[in-house]
């Protein structure tokens, strides 16, 4: 479904990610892990089109989308949740969801919102509240709900659990797995919390200094004490 | 009574022009020095309409809105969209240059209109018609300007807060990158915001020649007042801008009346707008919006503490 070939990404002319290749099928979760500044988020931005692609290509369902602008990628079924901010603070929860379903016909759109609210019961009753008044966990739930409204086939999440309490982070990852199961979603998860990411993912891509150090099963990476210890700081695996 | 109506109508005109400027600041983060030129373009559209149709300039409101809107749209597409990623200072400098270019174009147009079309296009004014309302004779402007302003501002409110398009515009204003990530066509949305801001300015331009003589460079004195309004309201606050329009409209009208009564030249009028800008920046830098802003800043759309 997603094929990334020899992708180099950067900002302006500065290359941050160097020739990364991988593929991902529907229903699979890929965790991208690595130390700070290794280019994980930049890789995601390159795939989605919010950072400059300096080489290589991205194929989505067989179509070359390397140069396609983000709104075209969204219409094709790709969704991306950025690291810093995934909701509009000045809009209400309902308006945020409405915005996410903007291009759909009105009737179908409302059905989708109802459907998403069923998936995220935490948001029920909060529809008229401004997003700036929500807790960190509620905001992330809303951000993921917004990504899900258009029923994407590929969901790319950039550190969705950052700054969340462990309990909330755990609930959020559980939700991501639920969504993967219900929608047969392909999920790319960039996480600083490597242990959490590797536990819930099928495949792992370890990045160091913008290059791929490991690509394979998450289980294997977790059990590879050398890589896990040196690059991820996971001294005791389990 | 006459003075009060005068102040109300002037406030309405100011509100139309400055809300457009505020919209540019909120959506594109550009303090557009060329904004007053869209007002002047609206005035010239009304002049041409009157010259060719012999009808009252009030009927030129749709035309002035269209021409003002198109001027702002072109400014956005040809200048600000290309420089959008370069930051607020670059955009502001570009807008200063654009202001000079538009003024030069208006000078050329005024020359052409005067020499080839025989239209008196420098220092022109419109003569107003009187209407009788309940036995009281009123100038048409004192009814048309407030009613038009109120209607358009209500429509703008409905557009921003009750339509999908408004949600999109507010989202792009808050975070264009995130809006794009969610599939919003940011360029199209900003184009529309600019068209609306220019259209409002164009409409304001139809009313001004009923009170002031208009020339290609009239934008310079209008601009100072508009910046005084948006500074007093709080840069980037729509609600603050509306309140400040009323305050400035009343204050300037009373000032001119007072100066005339004292036999002092009304040419001192710009000094008032200048003083408002300086004192606001010194005493209340966040303007009126600072009164209801929280520690995280004022929402551009809010009118009270949230």
pLDDT digits (tens, 9 = 90+) for B142-163: 899 999 999 999 999 899 888 8
- The domain segmentation of chain B, as residue ranges, is 2-216
Would you identify the CATH topology of the domain A2-232? Rossmann fold (3.40.50)
Cβ pairs bridging A and B (under 8 Å) = 64
Give the Cα separation of A181 and B201 in Å (integer). 53
Q: What is the mean pLDDT of chain A?
A: 85
Of the candidates B55, B99, B28, B24, the one whose C-alpha atom is nearest the C-alpha of residue B206 is B55
Q: Is the pTM of this model over 0.90?
A: no
Q: Which of A70, A90, A132 sits opposite B181 (nearest CB)?
A: A70
Q: Hey, of B161, B178, B304, which one would you mutate to test binding to chain A, going by the most A CBs within 10 A of its CB?
A: B178
d(CA A130, CA A136): 13
What ipTM was reported for this prediction? 0.75
Q: How many CB atoms lie within 10 A of CB B75?
A: 27
Beta-carbon separation of B174 and A90 below 8 A: yes
pLDDT at B305: 44
- Ramachandran quadrant class, A170 (left: phi over 0; alpha: psi -120 to 50; beta: rest): alpha
Question: Distance (Å, rounded) from C-alpha B212 to C-alpha B220?
Answer: 13
Most A CBs within 10 Å, among B181, B190, B236, to test the A interface:
B181
Please judge whether A85 and B175 are an interchain contact, meaning their C-beta atoms are less than 8 angstroms apart.
Answer: yes
Domain boundaries of chain A, sorted by first residue: 2-232
Question: What does the block give as tokens for A73?
Answer: 């990628």
User: What backbone phi and psi angles, to 5 degrees, belong to B56?
Assistant: -65, 140
Altogether, the residues listed in chain B come to a count of 306
Least confident among A33-42, A69-78, A156-165, A219-228: A219-228
Closest by CA to A27, choosing from A178, A217, A186, is: A186
Give residue-wise pLDDT tens across range B196-227. 999 999 999 999 999 889 999 999 889 999 99
CA separation for the pair B171, A89 (Å, rounded): 9
- Report, in angstroms and rounded to the nearest whole number, the Rg of chain B calculated over CA atoms: 19
For B186, the closest chain A residue by CA position comes to A71
Q: In terms of CA atoms, which chain A residue is nearest residue B174?
A: A88
pLDDT in tens, A48-104: 988 889 999 999 998 999 989 888 888 888 988 887 778 999 899 988 988 887 766
What's residue A237's pLDDT? Answer: 46
Of A50, A90, A146, the CB nearest to B299: A90
Share of chain B above pLDDT 70, in %: 95
Q: Could you count the other beta carbons within 10 Å of the beta carbon of residue B111?
A: 13
Confidence of residue A234 (pLDDT cuts 50, 70, 90): low
């Amino acid at each position: 479904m997603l094929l990334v070939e020899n992708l180099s990404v950067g900002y302006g002319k500065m290359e941050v990610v160097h020739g990364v290749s991988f593929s991902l099928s529907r229903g699979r979760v890929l965790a991208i892990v690595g130390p700070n500044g290794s280019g994980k988020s930049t890789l995601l931005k390159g795939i989605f089109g919010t950072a400059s692609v300096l080489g290589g290509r991205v194929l989505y369902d067989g179509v070359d989308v390397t140069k396609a602008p983000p709104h075209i990628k969204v219409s094709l079924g790709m969704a991306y949740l950025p690291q810093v901010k995934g909701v509009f603070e000045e809009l209400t929860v309902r308006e945020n969801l409405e915005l996410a379903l903007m291009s759909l016909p009105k009737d179908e759109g409302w059905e989708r919102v109802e459907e998403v609210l069923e998936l995220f019961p935490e948001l029920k009753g909060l529809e008229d509240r401004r997003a700036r008044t929500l807790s960190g966990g509620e905001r992330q739930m809303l951000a993921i709900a917004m990504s899900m409204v258009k029923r994407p086939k590929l969901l790319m999440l950039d550190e969705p659990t950052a700054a969340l309490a462990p309990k909330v982070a755990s609930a959020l990852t559980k939700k991501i797995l639920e969504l993967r199961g219900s929608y047969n979603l392909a999920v790319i998860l960039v996480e600083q919390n490597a242990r959490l990411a590797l536990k819930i993912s099928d495949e792992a891509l370890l990045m160091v200094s913008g290059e791929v150090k490991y690509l394979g099963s998450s289980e294997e990476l977790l059990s590879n004490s050398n890589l896990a210890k040196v690059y991820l700081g996971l001294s005791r695996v389990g | 009574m006459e003075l009060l109506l005068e102040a109300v109508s002037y406030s309405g005109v100011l509100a139309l022009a400055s809300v457009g400027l505020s919209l540019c600041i909120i959506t594109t983060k550009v303090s557009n020095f060329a904004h007053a030129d869209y007002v002047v373009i609206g005035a010239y559209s009304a002049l041409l309409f009157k010259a060719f149709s012999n009808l009252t300039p009030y009927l030129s409101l749709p035309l002035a809105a269209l021409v003002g809107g198109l001027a702002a749209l072109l400014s956005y597409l040809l200048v600000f969209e290309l420089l959008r990623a370069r930051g607020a200072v670059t955009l502001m400098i570009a807008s200063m240059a654009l202001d000079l270019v538009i003024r030069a174009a208006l000078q050329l147009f005024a020359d052409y209109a005067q020499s080839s079309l025989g239209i008196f296009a420098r220092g022109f004014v419109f003569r107003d018609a009187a209407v009788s309302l309940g036995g009281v004779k009123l100038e048409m402007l004192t009814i048309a300007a407030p009613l038009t302003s109120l209607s358009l501002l209500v429509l703008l409110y409905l557009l921003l807060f009750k339509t999908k398009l408004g949600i999109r515009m507010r989202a792009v204003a808050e975070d264009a990158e995130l809006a794009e990530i969610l599939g919003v066509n940011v360029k199209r949305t900003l184009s529309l915001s600019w068209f609306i801001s220019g259209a409002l300015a164009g409409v304001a331009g139809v009313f001004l020649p009923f009170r002031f003589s208009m020339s290609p460079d009239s934008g310079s004195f209008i601009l100072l007042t508009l910046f005084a309004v948006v500074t007093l309201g709080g840069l980037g606050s729509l609600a603050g801008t509306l309140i400040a329009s009323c305050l400035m409209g009343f204050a300037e009208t009373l000032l001119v009346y007072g100066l005339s009564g004292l036999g002092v030249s009304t040419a001192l009028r710009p000094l008032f707008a200048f003083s408002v800008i300086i004192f606001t920046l010194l005493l209340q830098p966040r303007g009126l919006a600072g009164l209801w802003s929280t520690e995280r800043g004022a929402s551009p759309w809010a009118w009270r503490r949230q």
